[in-house]
Amino acid sequence: MTYPIYHNLIGGQWVAAASGKTILNLNPADHSDVIGAFPSSHAEDVALAVAAAKKAFAAWRLVPAPKRAEILLRAGTNLLQNKEKYAREMTREMGKVLAETRGDVQEAIDEAFYVAGEGRRLFGVTTPSELQNKFAMSVRMPVGVVGLITPWNFPMAIPSWKLFPALVAGNTCVIKPATDTPLSTYNLVQALIDAGLPPGVVNVVSGTGSTAGAALVEHPDVRAISFTGSSAVGSLVAQRAAATFKQVSLEMGGKNAQIVLDDANLDLALDGALWGAFGTTGQRCTATSRILLQKGIAAEFTEKFVARAKKLKIGNGLDELVEVGPQVNANQIETTQRYLEIAKHEGTECLCGGHALTSGAYAHGTFFEPTVLAGVTPAMRIAREEVFGPVVCLMEFSTFDEAVEIANSIDYGLSTSVYTRDVNRAFTAIRDLESGITYINAPTIGAEVHLPFGGVKHTGNGHREGLGALDFFTTWKAVYVDYSDKLQRAQIDNAE
Ligand code: NAD
């Protein structure tokens, strides 16, 4: 079998991992399709990458931000030119359907164009000094070498959310892509190289989380870690990074609720629920995994929803007619199966799906049927823990207040959605739902790059991507310029 061999990018050179070992990247729809062999990197590879980033920082931080932004603009154009190729490669390595991988590449393009505009802003603040003949301002400085650790479900969009703002702000980067989907990060970085990014400004180190990822988190010269992944790993990353006082941004799991009130446009709510629950095979941090139904519409919604879930076409995402691709790997299938066992013991009823698909066209991939569970109550584990697969829980409620209470009764707080025609209820929900994102009459998925993205509670640690990213990738410097030609003591010389 022949397949391409990929290397790490360190200081502008493509080099093999010191161990010489590689990890095969397999198509989850067909394991006989090998996308390539990627380096299995360890601490020594990470150390070389961090050293290269540290060296490059000296010059990159001095490049004017509008010039750094021009590189991003060109990178966005490069991505646009290769959109179809990169989308197809992403479907091969990750499984989601072509319409969605095209959207993933588009998100990186949007991010490039959005962040490029920041090159001419990066606004600071001027403010009056309390002393005469003294000027005060606050300016944004780059943080230094930043480590970026990303998941497999948005293999190009999420790396772009981190790389582009980090770069425009003048940081240099070491990125550790998800083990299952390194190629899309390579494609993203290639777009930057082709756009003229100097060597060492971005370095790529592939490998597992416990080796390459952990080494990046622990390296003393890395000043910040931007992590997206599970809450379990995020907690570990935060604890380890604390030892060297790194800034840490964590974007983590979700258990997102769509609330459907009695007065909702039911067909719209059905469309949203189907897309929110089974788009990306349920493998989105914002996926709809709980549908909260008001009693008046519950029976009708359930019947129609199950009928439509049963009809979804499952298969290889490269087939344009397919609506639900495979799960990313066998581990994810096992997790889905494990949670369905838990749900069964908890007394839920499986209305459709519930099984891995292992024969015929599905024999060489990791496929799972879209699954709908009914009779779910808020205390059950299946109602509280993230499955990250095509599994959705139906839950019933009587009053609006009860729906908000159920939606908020979990540890996660990423995305929520409410379907109603009552504007008072909509605004009350916006105020009361504990989540970083709330949609009205739209599904829990579908973020746009120029709004803040992130969650509360166990979903995040207070940072935001999108609108908030520059706050993470810059550090404030307060500047005082005294032109009085005398010593002026704040709080003393001007006191009454
Ligand atoms: P994961 O936590 O298993 O891995 C995420 C990344 O961390 C990978 O690159 C992995 O190799 C690395 N990693 C693993 N162990 C590590 C360690 N000890 N030290 C450093 N790095 C380590 O998550 P995943 O399975 O790749 O992705 C799915 C999860 O990501 C879900 O929980 C999902 O909700 C979450 N997610 C969150 C967002 C968001 O923005 N909130 C977006 C997408 C996905």
Could you give phi then psi for residue 476, rounded to 5 degrees? Answer: -75, 140
The answer to whether 373 and 382 have CB atoms below 8 angstroms apart is: yes
In whole angstroms, what is the distance from residue 16 CA to residue 45 CA? 9
In a domain, 276, yes or no: yes
Number of domains in the chain: 2
Q: Are residues 230 and 372 in the same domain?
A: no
- 285 part of the active site: yes
Q: Is the pLDDT of residue 495 over 90?
A: no
Whether residues 316 and 235 fall in one domain: no
| Residue 491 within a domain | no
Nearest CA to ligand 1 atom 15: 209
Q: Indicate if 96 and 219 belong to the same structural domain.
A: yes
My answer on whether 200 and 174 are in the same domain is: yes
Is residue 214 domain-shared with residue 346, that is, in the same domain? no
End-to-end CA distance of the chain: 83
Residue 296 counted as domain residue? yes
- Residue 254 CA, closest ligand 1 atom number: 34
Report if residue 454 sits inside a domain.
no
d(CA 261, CA 298): 9
Residue 494's pLDDT is 87
Averaged pLDDT, 202-214: 98
Q: Are residues 301 and 409 in the same domain?
A: yes
Are the beta carbons of 86 and 112 closer than 8 angstroms?
A: no
- Is the residue at 138 inside a domain? yes
Residues 268 and 364 in one domain: yes
What would the pLDDT profile of 340-394 be if each residue is shown by its tens digit?
999 999 999 999 999 999 999 999 999 999 999 999 999 999 999 999 999 999 9
User: What is the chain's mean pLDDT, rounded?
Assistant: 98
Question: Which residues, 6 or more positions from 440, have their beta carbon under 8 angstroms from its beta carbon?
Answer: 417, 418, 419, 420, 426, 429, 430
Domain-embedded: residue 1: no
Domain of residue 428, residue span: 256-440
Ligand 1: residues within 6 Å at CB?
149-154, 176, 178-179, 208-210, 213-214, 217, 228-230, 233, 236-237, 251-254, 285, 386, 388, 414, 455, 459
Instruction: Provide DSSP, 379-406.
Output: TSGGGTS---SSEEEEEEESSHHHHHHH
484 within domain boundaries: no
Residues 430 and 468 in one domain: no
Inter-helix orientation angle 295-311/266-278, to 10°: 50
Per-residue pLDDT tens digits for 313-352: 999 999 999 999 999 999 999 999 999 999 999 999 999 9
Q: What is the pLDDT of residues 74-97, one digit of tens each?
A: 999 999 999 999 999 999 999 999
Going by alpha carbons, the residue nearest to atom 31 of ligand 1 is 230
Do 428 and 467 lie in one domain? The reply is no
Q: Is the pLDDT of residue 20 over 90?
A: yes
At residue 294 the predicted structure's pLDDT band, cuts being 50, 70 and 90, is very high
Banded model confidence at residue 496, pLDDT cuts 50, 70, 90: confident
For residue 199, pLDDT over 90 is answered with yes
Q: Domain of 232: which CATH number? A: 3.40.605.10
Taking only Cα atoms into account, the Rg of the chain, rounded to an integer number of angstroms, comes to 24
> What 3-state class would DSSP assign to 35?
strand
- One domain, residues 205 and 330: no
If we measure between CA atoms, which residue out of 341, 337, 346, 412 comes closest to residue 377?
A: 346
Q: For 114-119, what is the mean pLDDT?
A: 98
> What atom of ligand 1 comes closest to residue 251's alpha carbon?
41
Residue with CA closest to ligand 1 atom 20 = 213
- For a mutational test of ligand 1's pocket, the pick from 285, 449, 467, i.e. the residue with the most ligand atoms closer than 8 A to its C-beta, is 285
Give the mean pLDDT of 200-225: 98
Q: How many angstroms is it from 363 CA to the middle of ligand 1?
A: 27
- 407 domain-assigned: yes
Report whether 378 contacts 389 (CB < 8 A).
Answer: no
Q: Write down the pLDDT at residue 39.
A: 98
Nearest CA to ligand 1 atom 35: 229
**pLDDT number for residue 415:** 98
Q: Strands 452-453 and 415-419, how do they pair?
A: unpaired
Residue 411's CATH number? 3.40.309.10
Give the model confidence (pLDDT) of 46-76 as tens digits: 999 999 999 999 999 999 999 999 999 999 9
Clarify whether residues 109 and 154 are in a common domain: yes
Is the same domain home to 271 and 379? yes
> Which of 184, 219, 228, 451 to mutate to test ligand 1, by most ligand atoms within 8 A of the CB atom?
228
